[in-house]
Structure 1
Amino acid sequence: MGAEKCDGYSKRVLVTGGAGFIASHMIISLVEAHPDYFIINLDKLDYCASLKNLEPISNRPNYKFLQGDICDSDFIKHLFETENIDIVLHFAAQTHVDLSFRHSYKFAYVNTYGTCILLNAAYGAGVEKFVYISTDEVYGGSLDKEFDETSPKRPTNPYASSKAAAESFVLSFWERYKFPVVITRCSNVYGPHQYPEKVIPKFISLLQHNRKCCIHGTGHQTRNFLYATDVVEALLTILKTGKLGEIYNVGTSFEISISQLARELIELIKDTTTDTETKEWVEYVNDRPINDLRYPMKSEKIHSLGWRPQVHWKDGIRRTIEWYKNNFHNWKDSKQALEPFLCDS
């Protein structure tokens, strides 16, 4: 028999990839702020996941962890048959662009096929809301034009392509069945809990281990960075007031080049005062096969729901630096994440 609603919880929420970066922040917020919700964390525990991210709430009565693979159709079908899930927040994905160039099949399998498995099971179980967390990278790059939710998708790397394909499946369930889906497209996210293969935790960790920041290509490419808890607040807003069948850009006006990012982190961590001192902590490496220069997005649609980012860059980056001082070893193979990307010949 499935789980009963008489367990006292008003909603049962499945969060996929919950031992990962953004999803772990989401779970902590839901468990703490909504004791009337029962939160199920489904995670395969791949290399970039860590249950240490969930230690603050691991013993809460309204939280449960299940280890499992979104690509295992029998397991997922049984999960939805037995857990009486009301809401799905689908974060689980392969996300590292560098790796996607070498393992495009794996990214398509996990990100696209895995999403299809979840969609079919959630639809069959009559889930009341399915939120798919996507990325600004589905738009491709732009030097001047800002993307809104109607802009065409022109992904330029295997990771973004797999997310764009998954989005198409998600929207097809809305078009065909009016299955209640919502898609979010976020700017780059930073903060505690992020595996140090991504640029901010990687640079921080390299510097904290007395190694140089390795910059792809020229370092002129820019990124918009949102602090993790701001993304959580955006998703909570969408859960409450977001319109079904819609896409929401979750962006920020804060934009910084990768070379300037390295400079600021070096000044904060190494306390450098001159350009010469700062440059000693930078190393340039071969660029990716494709590296979009910018991902400018318009976010007025979610602004109309009342959300705007609250964490200032200077506050967020200092919190992040402080966290990595004591938590770099939360992942068993974190040291290998610090090696530079080497383009195949």
Structure 2
Amino acid sequence: MRLTELAHGGGCGCKLGPAVLRDLLADQPIGQMFPQLLVGNAESDDAAVWQIDENTCMIATTDFFMPMVDNPRDFGRIAATNAISDIYAMGGRPVMALAILGMPINVIDPSDIREILAGGADICAEAGIPIAGGHSIDAPEPIYGLAVIGLCAPGDLRRNGGALPGDALILTKPLGVGIYSNAIKKGIATKADIAEMIDSCTTLNRIGQDLSKRPEVHAITDVTGFGILGHGMEMARAAGCGLRIERAALPLLNRAAEMAQSGLRTGASDRNWDAVGDKVTLPTGITEAEHTLLTDPQTSGGLLVSVAADAAESVLDQICSVHPKAAIIGTVIEGAGIEIV
């Protein structure tokens, strides 16, 4: 049986919707009694941050999901890359990971489970960190991911807030992962499609660690299950600003637009739109396919970077050395919400 047939969803499209998550967390303590907790639940950021001393912050995150591809090793590689991304999005250096594993033991061959774990180990080795332990359960659907710990200097910490009006917005990876995942689940993705998606999803976002050293970079977040609109809205809210996004400038996987035009999309697109649609201004004549791309849930997506306009081209050149499809996709503006042009 294909891995993707064992799960009702896949990748970051499995995430609870933003509106549901806000409701569930509404009455949870947010840590005001802990002054060392620099980033927690209240910020809707990529990871938690605890300041150890004047020179060191600890960054902690966890991320896991169900398979979006059928090759077990690739599933492990994608899940690990996605989990480590949260550390890079905060400007940190990952130092250690713990594995999170839930498998239907009587359904999946043990050799496939070993391959999933090996894929995660491959990516952690590439990131220069060990998988030092973890926890496993017998679960009805396959689940894999990591809890990751990282470090950074307080001055290198980058939150999803901090964007300033006039900043340029850079997206480091192409959109379309949710659409491609749907094509894989339906059995209509080509080998080239699958290879392209896996290549993007297994490219580490370690550039975030380098960008955090640049004072011109004001804010960073990674774009995952809530899509460019959802994570863009989190950046806008945290900064008390608005975003203007140029839909024609968005980098896309090679056949993402074609697939969207054919009607391929995920249910998470509707969820993502419901969460932010009342705060998004759309242009006259926007197509259904363009709308799908704006709400498409990403798995192990790129970083959304807010950078001073006069440094944007220099920062883009630095990013493109690792992520060749990176592009300037818009600007930070006065006001609130997101304007699509």
TM-score range, shorter chain: under 0.3
Q: Which has the bigger relative contact order, CA under 8 A and spacing at least 6? A: 2
Larger radius of gyration: 1
Structure (1/2) with the larger helix percentage = 1
TM-score normalised over the length of structure 1: 0.26
